[in-house]
Amino acid sequence: MATRSNINVKVGDIYHCVYCHWDGYPEHHGPILTAHYNSQELAEKLVSHGDISILDNSCDKPEGHSFDNRVDGYTVYYGRDRGEENVSFKEKASPLNQEEFSYIWDGEKWLVMKGNERTKYPKDAIEL
């Protein structure tokens, strides 16, 4: 069963926002985001490929990597690796918070908050 999440990266005055299908718990995403996407450049690169099927340590694409032929340690994207359309990142004035968890790169650090209509950024976000 999937734990869905949103991953949001602040770029200037807007956020680049993507959906991530699996496995959105902080115990999974937290160590990956803080260890492997811990700068503005890396965070922007992570969301530049659009919506994510499976988050992993690298967002590069090794030879032969796809949804059906996954290379361990590499993120799987809906568009790039599954051939799906209309899955680019969205530009929003505030972070998307539509799934079970929402992750936010604020320009300096990663934050997380439970996703629902009652939680608000930044008051309900905590640092990973």
Tell me the average confidence (pLDDT) per consecutive run of 10 residues in the chain, 128 residues long.
93 98 96 99 99 99 96 98 98 95 98 87 92
pLDDT at 94: 95
Residue located via tokens 């115990």: 27
pLDDT at 1: 63
Distance in angstroms (rounded) separating the CA atoms of residues 38 and 18: 17
In terms of Cβ atoms closer than 10 Å to its own Cβ (0-12, 13-18, 19+), residue 107 is exposed
Angle at 116 between CA 109 and CA 37, to 5 degrees: 25
pLDDT at 111: 98
pLDDT at 66: 96
Distance set, CA 1 to CA 8, 23, 50, 103, 126 (Å): 23, 9, 22, 20, 25
